[in-house]
Amino acid sequence: MSVSYKDQYQQSIENPEQFWAEAASGLEWIKPWDKVLDDSRKPFYEWFSGGEINTCHNALDRHCSAGRGGQAALIYDSPVTGQVITYSYDELLDQVSRFAGALRGCGVNKGDRVIVYMPMIPQAVIAMLACARIGAIHSVVFGGFAAKELATRILDAGPALIVSASCGIEGSKVIPYMPLLEQALAIADTQDMPRILVSRPELPVDDLHPSALLWDQAMEQAEAVPCVPVAATDPLYILYTSGTTGEPKGVVRPNGGHAVALKWSMDHIYDVQPGEVYWAASDIGWVVGHSYIVYAPLLHGCATILYEGKPVGTPDASAFWRVIEQHKVSCLFTAPTAFRAIRREDPEGKLLKQHDIGSLKTLFLAGERCDPDTLHWAEKQLEVPVIDHWWQTESGWAMAANPMGIEPLPIKAGSPTVPVPGYDIRVLDDEGEEVPRGDSGNIVVKLPLPPGTLPTLWGNQQRYFDTYLSRFPGYYLTGDAGVLDEQSYLWVMSRIDDVINVAGHRLSTGALEEALSTNRVVAECAVIGVEDKLKGEMPLGFVVLNAGTTVDQATLKAELVQTVRSQVGPIATPRDILVVARLPKTRSGKILRGTMRKIADGKDYKTPATIEDPTVLEEIASALED
C-alpha cells in the first residue's frame, strides 16, 4: 500500500534515524555507519557518522557492475558547437577513473581541494567525479564570474590544482577563460598553481604556462585508479554562495548524507526511474547543476543531459523542445526565467507545436519564485504538471516541493507546495515566536536539518553558526521570509537580507557595492534589486560622488557598469546607475535599501520612523523618474 505524503513527512520528523537509514540502504557503503544521526555536538549535527562510502562508486561503478554499463549516462548536447556526444556508464567510468589517475599524478590527494573553473563541457563533469573518486574536494566556480570572484574562492579554498578550459561559449560569443584565470591567480598570488587545461578548438591554448598541462596530455599519461573510501562526513565539495557581505560563503557538502538525500529525491520528489532521461537546464557552477546535472541523476542510474546552450538564441525559442524530443527527456528542471525568455519570443508556443515532447512527464522550476503567470503559461503549453520547488545552495536539494513520487498534491500557483520530508519548516516572528498559520515571518527549519544539507562553512564554523544558527537558537535561518498556510503550503515572499536573484543567479548587493566603491569619485553607494519582467530582479545602483567632483555622468555610468562586469561578472550587469546627492539612512547610518526598493518598484511604502531625513526619499523618487 502506498504511503501518503502526510505519513511520510510525519515519519521523517518523528523518527528521522529510521527514515534516513532506510533511504541509505539503496546505496553501497564501504563501512556501515555507527550512528545515523550524531547529535552529540548540538547545534552541529552529522549524518551517518562512522560510515564510509565513495560517491563516485555509487554514481558510476555500482551501475556498471549491475549491468547498466552500456546505458547512456551523460549526454552532452551543445548547440553552440553543433555537437551531441553520448557517454555510456562504462565510457564515463573509463574517463573519470583515468582523470582521477591524472589528478593523482599531479599530486592531488584525499582531502585536497581542486578548483573547477569550466564551461558546460563533459570534462567539467568528469573532473568533478574524478575528485570524488580520490576523495579530493572540488569547488566549481561559475564561468560567468570575473577574476576577482574566482580569486576570492581560490584564496578561501586553498586548492592544490585548478582544472579549466581555454574558453566558454555563450550563445555566439567565445569567452576566453585564460586571461580571467591568470588574473585571478595573480590576485591570489598563486601564479605557479598546477593547472590542467582543456584546449577547445574554438580558441586553442597557445601559450602554455610552465605549471599547466593540457587535458589530453594528462589523460594520455594517466592510469585508471579505483575509488578510495571516504568518511560519510568528509566533504565531497565546497560551493561558494553569496551572502549579505561581499565575502562568499563556502558551503560544505558531506559525501554520505548528500548521496542519500539526492537518491531519495529522485524517487520521491521527481518521480523518475533509473534508465530515464533527466535534464536540469542549469549550469554546473550552481547548486542545481551540482545536484541535478551531475550527482542525483547518476546516483539514480538515469541519463543526464549537459546542455551547452540557452533557452533562446541557440538557435531560437524551440531549443528546449528540440532537446526534449531528441533525447526523450522525461523530467525537465530549470529556472522560471528560462520560461519567461521562451514565452517572450514565442508567446503562442508555435515552435513547440513542431516538436513531439510526449516523453516529458513533469517540469520542475526553482532558483527564484515562479510567478503564477509563467506557471500557467508553461502548464498550458506543455500539458504536464509544472512544479515550483524551493531550495538553496545551503540545502543542496528541495526544502519545499510537490512530492510527485509520494503523492502529487494539488498545485497552488505561487507556492512551492509543502515541506519536503526531513525539513521541519516553521515561520517565526522577529522575537522567535511561531506566528499563526497564514501570517508572514522568517522561514526557518527546526534542527536537525536532514541529510545532504550543509554541516558547516569551509574553514569557518563560527561564521556558519553566526549566519544560520544564532538568530533563533534551535533553528536554521533560511534567509527567506514567507507564510505557511492552513494546509501547510509554503509561500516564499522575499529575502530578509541583501541577497538578490538575477535570472536565477544569487548575487550579493554587497559585492556589487564593493565594486562601485573602487571608483575614486564614488563617496558612497547602494545597490538594490528591482523587479524585472525577464530576470525576476536586476541590480540598480545609486552613487554619491565626492564633493566637488565634476564628471560626465554618461561616461561615469558606463565606467561603473564596466567595473561591476569586470569585478563581479557580466551576470551582475546593473540595469542602471543613478547619481544622487544623498542616500536615505537611519539615524544610526544604515542605508534604507528596502524602502528604496519599494520606491523603485512603484510600491506603497511607509517612511521609516528611524529615518535621518525624510526628504531624501523624495530625491530618490525623482532620480528614478528621470
495 binding ligand AMP? (CB under 6 A): yes
One character per residue 287-306, x = contact with ligand COA (rule: CB under 6 A): -x------------------
Instruction: Write the CB contacts of 592 (distance below 8 Å, at least 6 apart in sequence).
Output: 584, 585, 586, 608, 611
Q: How many residues bind ligand COA (CB under 6 A)?
A: 25
Backbone torsions φ then ψ of 278, nearest 5 degrees: -115, 135
Nearer to ligand AMP, 218 or 499 (CB): 499
Q: Where are the beta strands (DSSP E) in 255-357?
A: 277-280, 303-307, 329-334
The residue within the footprint of ligand AMP, chosen from 263, 506, 535, 593 (CB under 6 A), is 506
According to DSSP, residue 511 is labeled H
**Binds 389: which of ligand AMP, ligand COA, none (CB < 5-8 Å by kind):** ligand AMP
Q: How far is the CB of 236 from ligand COA (least distance, A)?
A: 20
The residue within the footprint of ligand AMP, chosen from 282, 330, 392, 453 (CB under 6 A), is 392
Separation CA 616–CA 623 (nearest Å): 11
393 binding ligand AMP? (CB under 6 A): yes
Tell me whether residue 290 is exposed, middle or buried, using C-beta atoms within 10 angstroms of its C-beta: 0 to 12, 13 to 18, 19 or more.
buried
One character per residue 434-473, x = contact with ligand AMP (rule: CB under 6 A): ----------------------------------------
CA angle, corner 126, sides to 123 and 127, nearest 5? 85
**Binds 571: which of ligand AMP, ligand COA, none (CB < 5-8 Å by kind):** ligand COA
HSE-CB at 615 with a 13 A cutoff on CA atoms is: 1
369 binding ligand COA? (CB under 6 A): no
The residue within the footprint of ligand COA, chosen from 335, 375, 483, 620 (CB under 6 A), is 335
- Three-state DSSP at 224 gives coil
Site for ligand COA in 109-168 (CB under 6 A): 143-144, 168
367 binding ligand AMP? (CB under 6 A): yes
Nearer to ligand COA, 151 or 616 (CB): 151
Q: How far is CA 47 from CA 148, 453, 514, in A?
A: 35, 10, 38
Q: Can you spell out the DSSP letters for 75-136?
A: EEEETTTTEEEEEEHHHHHHHHHHHHHHHHHTT--TT-EEEEE--SSHHHHHHHHHHHHHT-
498 binding ligand AMP? (CB under 6 A): no
Cell numbers 535570472: residue: 503
If we measure between CA atoms, which residue out of 532, 476, 471 comes closest to residue 507? 532
310 binding ligand COA? (CB under 6 A): yes
Q: How far is the CB of 250 from ligand AMP (least distance, A)?
A: 13
User: Which positions touch ligand AMP (CB under 6 A)?
Assistant: 241, 287, 366-369, 388-393, 416, 478-480, 492, 495, 501, 506
User: Which positions touch ligand COA (CB under 6 A)?
Assistant: 143-144, 168, 170, 175, 282-283, 286, 288, 310-312, 334-335, 337-338, 341, 366-367, 503-504, 534, 570-571, 573
